[in-house]
Chains A and B, each alone.
Chain A
Amino acid sequence: MANATTHTPANRGFLEKSGRYGGIFSWIFSTDHKRIGLLYFWCIVAFFLIGSLLGALIRLELFAPGRTIMGAQTYNAAFTLHGVIMIFLFIIPSVPAAFGNMILPLQLGARDVSFPRLNLFSWWLYVIGAAMAVTALFTGGGPPDTGWTFYVPYSVGTTANVSLAAIAVFILGFSSILTGLNFITTIHRLRTKGLGWGRLPLFVWTLYATAWIQLLATPILGITVVLLFVERVLGTGLFDPSLGGDPIMFQHLFWIYSHPAVYIMVLPAMGVISEIIPVFARKPAFGYKAMVISSLAIAFAGSLVWAHHMYTSGMSDTAVMIFSLLTFLVAIPSAIKVFNWLATMYKGSILLDPPMLYALSFILLFSIGGLTGLVLGSAATDVSVHDTHFVVGHFHYTMFGGTGMAFFGAMHYWLPKIYGRMYNKKIATIAWVTIFVGINVVYMSMMVVGVQGMPRRYYDYLPEFTALNRVSTCGAWVLVTGLLMMFVNIFYGTFRGKSVGSNPWGGATLEWTVSSPPPPENFEEEPVVTHGPYDFKKAGVV
């Protein structure tokens, strides 16, 4: 058994644990939340690399007008896969499933989540869903070419293998639901002694808000893709105007899930930032209650705005106005968060370690993404930039500049805890600079070319857009270089890096009180919490 205070390189904590099975089976049949978290993590990283490769290929194709490296049909498949992989296999499970699993029970002072076997089952569903999505590429009428949104009527008519992809999405959805269910129950039932609701780390709060969205919105996606499947197989006509159906209803059902899903992606990321900033500013989080309420408010208000994706679809003008108004409401709690992060840093003694650098760039990039979102949320301006590259640039700023950066930040913040080894900080910093520059070059030029009128998802473009597309593609090369540097450094650090103690960053939450890597059962004795999550003085770390 590991001892919390005497960490030696020989102590491998839960990584050493030998259960009923050996080798790989001790991982893929493990019900230990830390092992499941790592399983998710490595799968997610693998899919991120595949998705990034596809993204780089798309950029390469757009380097010049006309055919550059691939045909039009291949291009359609490439952007569909890029979207499906990045959304369903990377971003949605990224922070909650990987880091939520690793860290949540530790932060609660619990031995595990409420339903460990269900947790393992969720991971298996994820793997099965992912396998089906990949199978859809090579079977049936070819890889799906509908874009990740699967809009009817094209998705019903196309001969590509949309049916299998739809079922894959259904299964991935249930994986996400079960994780959410598990987390809410865990947060309600397994908080340790003294850990009242007012002392929960902000990361836990965001996971809680996220889990509610997963629980209540994801089933709607489930039924939507089932209806799409049935429509393709049986021809029910529910979305077919010639049979009395309404294609806009597909968009409603799809976005009832898929807009709240944006907050499934970004809320836990905000949680990560809320953990990192107080630790590296050496100051308690500013406005704890406002942070908690804004998390819940984002989850709630985010469920009311889905139709802002549909201003040009032909829905009623009344709906356009109401949804536009509601959309602007979501900006309020998001802005509260940004201001509170800034206020936390004010007069703090800021340490610019890699996790903090990612957190800082999150704030900037997410703010750009959020503010350009208002351009899209306002119906009048949306009509002119709808379905252009401006939209693509906007959501990459929020998703990649936001959630992606938070995921990398979490990686640099918590992997030393989980593996007990530190990466090379200098290389991590250089990689961060490269990624930061790359992101801005790629997506800023996309936004500009979008405002000039270049539509998204088009294979070809007018010659006057060439220059900006070249800039964007060059930015993609910078970005890829930075990503490779970062991952190689992280992999190397994970397995060969220097041992670190239990609390390398001086955090005050519970995960830093156990050894690195944590013992199999997390805590020798049930810990008792006596101070708030960011009370560094009482925690004795400053």
Chain B
Amino acid sequence: MTKHEHIVSYKTIITVWLLLLVLTGVTVGASRIDLGALNIWVALGIAATKSSLVISIFMHMKYESPVFKLFLLIALSVLAIFVGLTLIDVLYR
């Protein structure tokens, strides 16, 4: 393997793990408060935070070249477009 590969330290990984546990607690707590339609967005927001932690640190995305990041962005945007355009039909039916 090439020498410039980044080695993620134990400390970073442990910190991220603890953060993920805390965020899980927060999302469960938030779901017990009735915020109406906001609930789903809070849950999704926290899920997005958790997943970006997993992707950037656990999956080393933070240390990859920009092309990896661009491709991830493309994949996520395409999924968002598929959901969005489907909703154009369903929301206005």
What residues of chain A have their CB less than 8 Å away from a CB belonging to chain B?
188, 212, 216, 220, 248-249, 252, 256, 303-304, 306-307, 315-319, 322-323
Known: A303-B81, A317-B92, A318-B92. A216 touches B86 (CB 8 A): no
> Are A216 and B75 closer than 8 Å at their CB atoms?
yes
Question: Is B93 in contact with chain A by the CB < 8 A criterion?
Answer: yes
> Do residues A316 and B92 form an inter-chain contact, with CB atoms below 8 A?
yes
A296 CB to closest chain B CB (Å) equals 11
Q: Does B42 contact A (CB under 8 A)?
A: no
- Chain B residues with CB under 8 A of A220: 82
Are A248's CB and B82's CB within 8 A? no
- Docked pose: A220 CA to B88 CA in angstroms: 18
In the assembled complex, the CB of A311 is this many whole angstroms from the nearest CB of chain B, namely 11
- The answer to whether A318 touches B78 (Cβ under 8 A) is no
For the A-B complex with A315-B89, A316-B90 known, give 19 more contacts whose Cβ atoms are closer than 8 Å: A188-B67, A220-B82, A248-B89, A249-B86, A252-B89, A256-B82, A303-B81, A304-B85, A307-B85, A307-B89, A316-B88, A316-B89, A316-B92, A318-B88, A319-B88, A319-B89, A319-B92, A319-B93, A323-B85
Least CB separation from A320: chain B residue: B89
Query: Which are the 5 A-B pairs with shortest beta-carbon distances?
Result: A319-B89, A318-B92, A316-B92, A316-B93, A315-B89
User: Is chain B's interface secondary structure helix, strand, loop, or mixed overall?
Assistant: helix
In the complex formed, the residue of B with least CB distance to A248 is: B89
> Among B86, B89, B93, which residue has the most Cβ atoms of chain A within 10 A?
B89
How many chain B residues have a CB neighbour from A under 8 Å? 14
B92 CB to nearest chain A CB (Å): 4
**CA–CA, A188 to B78, complex, Å?**
21
Report A-chain residues with C-beta under 8 Å of the C-beta of B67: 188
Q: Which residues of A contact B74 (CB under 8 A)?
A: 212, 216
B residues neighboring A (CB under 8 Å): 67, 74-75, 78, 81-82, 85-86, 88-93
Question: What is the CA–CA distance of A315 and B87 in the complex, to the nearest angstrom?
Answer: 11
Q: Write 5 A-B pairs (CB below 8 A) sorted by A numbering.
A: A212-B74, A249-B86, A307-B85, A316-B93, A319-B92
The interface residues of chain A lying within 8 Å CB-to-CB of B85 are 304, 306-307, 319, 322-323
* B residues less than 8 Å from A318 (CB atoms): 88-89, 92
Name the distance in Å between A153's Cβ and chain B's nearest Cβ. 19
Distance to closest chain B CB from A217 (angstroms) = 8
Chain A residues whose CB sits within 8 angstroms of the CB of B82 once the complex forms: 220, 256, 303
A304 and B92 contacting across the interface, CB-CB below 8 Å:
no
Instruction: Kindly list chain B residues whose C-beta atoms are within 8 Å of the C-beta of A216.
Output: 74-75, 78
A391–B92 alpha-carbon span in the complex (Å): 27
B92 x A252 contact (CB < 8 A): no
A212 contact set on B, CB distance < 8 A = 74
Cα separation A25 to B18 with both chains bound (whole Å): 53
A322–B81 touching, CB < 8 Å: no
Nearest-CB distance from B7 to chain A (Å)? 23
Report B47 CB to chain A, min CB distance, Å. 20
Q: Tell me the smallest distance from the CB of A321 to a CB of chain B, in Å.
A: 10
Residue of B nearest to A256 (CB): B82
User: What's the nearest-Cβ distance from chain B to residue A336, in Å?
Assistant: 22
Nearest CB in chain A: distance from B78 CB, A: 5
Cα of A216 to Cα of B82 in the assembled complex, Å: 11
- Kindly provide the distance from the CB of B60 to the nearest chain A CB, expressed in whole angstroms: 18
- Which residues does chain A contribute within 8 Å of B90, judged by CB atoms? 316
Per the bound structure, the CA–CA distance linking A307 and B67 in Å amounts to: 31
Query: Once the chains bind, are A303 and B78 in contact (CB under 8 Å)?
Result: yes
Hey, which chain A residues are within 8 Å of B86, CB to CB? 249, 252, 256
List residues of chain A with CB within 8 A of the CB of B91. Answer: 316
Q: How far is the CB of A329 from chain B (nearest CB, A)?
A: 13
Q: How far is the CB of A6 from chain B (nearest CB, A)?
A: 40
Q: In the complex, what distance in Å separates the CA atom of A67 from the CA atom of B42?
A: 62
Cα A318 to Cα B78 with chains together (Å): 21
| A180-B46 Cα distance, complex, nearest whole Å | 33
Q: Please indicate the chain B residues that have their CB under 8 angstroms from the CB of A315 in the complex.
A: 89, 93
- Taking the nearest CB of chain B, how far is it from the CB of A315, in angstroms? 4
What is the bound-complex CA distance between A220 and B85, given in angstroms? 15
CB-based nearest B residue for A315: B89
The CA of A248 and the CA of B88, in the complex, are separated in Å by: 13
Residues of B within 8 A of A249 (CB): 86
Residues in chain B near residue A252, CB distance under 8 A: 86, 89
